[in-house]
Chain A
Amino acid sequence: MSRTDSVTPPSRLNVLWHTWRFHLNILLLLIPLGFMPKYFADASLFRGDSGLGEREIGEVQVGPWSLRLAELRNEAPLLTGPAGYMKGFNAALCDSCREQVKATYLRIGKPRSLRAAGVIFFGTPYRMGALLPIPEKTKADAELWITMEGWDGSMHQAAVPLNQASPATVAWLNKQGGKP
């Protein structure tokens, strides 16, 4: 603000600003309140208070073991940089398999081998997370394959149809058309 404009009469805008700026600042303080519901919903989702994820897929039997699977967000895959579209899944191992399961993997389509079993779940067995890349050319009738590896060296697999695992992803695939 320059100090020389006291010579000229203050403009209408200037008067309005000086009259209302205090109230405007109070309004500015109120803006964050609008974001609070989303903030608390996210905080509760990531803390696990509102369940494993936004949409529970249910209990999936994988050989002698089972796990509870959920979509972190009930929405289409997100473009996360150069690695392409990603979709977050969460899982919790069954009570009896926590001690037995060494690793859990997730992949679209049947894995060719244990080495290529897909992305690995991170975190505690009570609440693990994995970020699954969704190729744009995925077919809408694809299956989500879960591979579990035990400390005893055994391996078990199970598949969940993608339209059951993530209807939002299938809707997204259908909408953008089957890429070659």
Chain B
Amino acid sequence: MIKVLRPLHAALLVLGVGFSASALAHNPMCECKAIDADQIKCTGGFSDGSGAPGVTLDVIGYDETILVPGKLGADSTVTFKKPGAEFYVLFDAGPGHVVEIDQADIEAPGT
């Protein structure tokens, strides 16, 4: 009887540990990459592994004008044309749940 239950206990432990970790933190995350000379692709998500479809992602100029207002698509990504002016990307999942990516931190294509 005990021998039969042992694998079950192990499975329960693994499940418990797994779920507690995902409940601990789900900080917003965002990553942007230049896919070619003038296109930038940003991927949003949360640190518990969940995606962020429909979440706002704006491209904002250094003068605080919104250059490209956008929302992430069903695959949690958005692709936009690189603005001419200096800009940063703001992944905005609500007040206090934002990620800023400066243009200097966006990887060039091919790296």
In the complex, which residue of chain A has the Cβ closest to the Cβ of B102? A112
| Chain B interface size range | 10 to 19
Whether B64 lies near A113 (C-beta < 8 A) is yes
- Which residues from chain A contact B60 at a C-beta distance below 8 Å? 112-113
Whether A81 lies near B47 (C-beta < 8 A) is yes
In the complex, which residue of chain A has the Cβ closest to the Cβ of B66? A115
Whether A115 lies near B92 (C-beta < 8 A) is yes
B62 to chain A, nearest CB (A): 8
Whether A80 lies near B47 (C-beta < 8 A) is yes
Contact of B25 among A80, A105, A113 (CB under 8 A): A80
Whether A112 lies near B25 (C-beta < 8 A) is no
Q: What does the 1/0 interface line of B19-53 toward A look like (CB < 8 Å)?
A: 00100110111000000000000000001100000
Whether A120 lies near B47 (C-beta < 8 A) is no
Whether A112 lies near B27 (C-beta < 8 A) is no
| Chain A positions 102-152 with a Cβ under 8 Å from a chain B Cβ | 103, 105, 112-113, 115-121, 130-131, 133
In the complex, which residue of chain A has the Cβ closest to the Cβ of B94? A120
A contact patch SS: mixed
- Which residues from chain B contact A121 at a C-beta distance below 8 Å? 96
Whether A116 lies near B98 (C-beta < 8 A) is yes
Whether A115 lies near B98 (C-beta < 8 A) is yes
Whether A83 lies near B29 (C-beta < 8 A) is yes
In the complex, which residue of chain B has the Cβ closest to the Cβ of A106? B96
Whether B47 lies near A119 (C-beta < 8 A) is no
In the complex, which residue of chain A has the Cβ closest to the Cβ of B28? A83
Whether B95 lies near A116 (C-beta < 8 A) is no
Whether B27 lies near A133 (C-beta < 8 A) is yes
Tell me if A86 is interfacial: C-beta within 8 Å of chain B: yes
Measured CA separation A83–B44 after assembly (Å): 11
Whether B47 lies near A116 (C-beta < 8 A) is no
Tell me if B81 is interfacial: C-beta within 8 Å of chain A: no
In the complex, which residue of chain B has the Cβ closest to the Cβ of A133? B27
Tell me if A82 is interfacial: C-beta within 8 Å of chain B: yes
Residues of A in contact with B (beta carbons under 8 Å apart): 80-83, 86, 103, 105, 112-113, 115-121, 130-131, 133
New contact pairs (20) apart from A117-B95, A120-B95, A120-B96, CB-CB < 8 Å: A80-B27, A80-B47, A81-B25, A82-B29, A82-B47, A83-B25, A83-B28, A86-B25, A86-B27, A103-B95, A103-B96, A112-B60, A112-B88, A112-B100, A113-B64, A117-B96, A118-B96, A118-B98, A119-B96, A121-B96
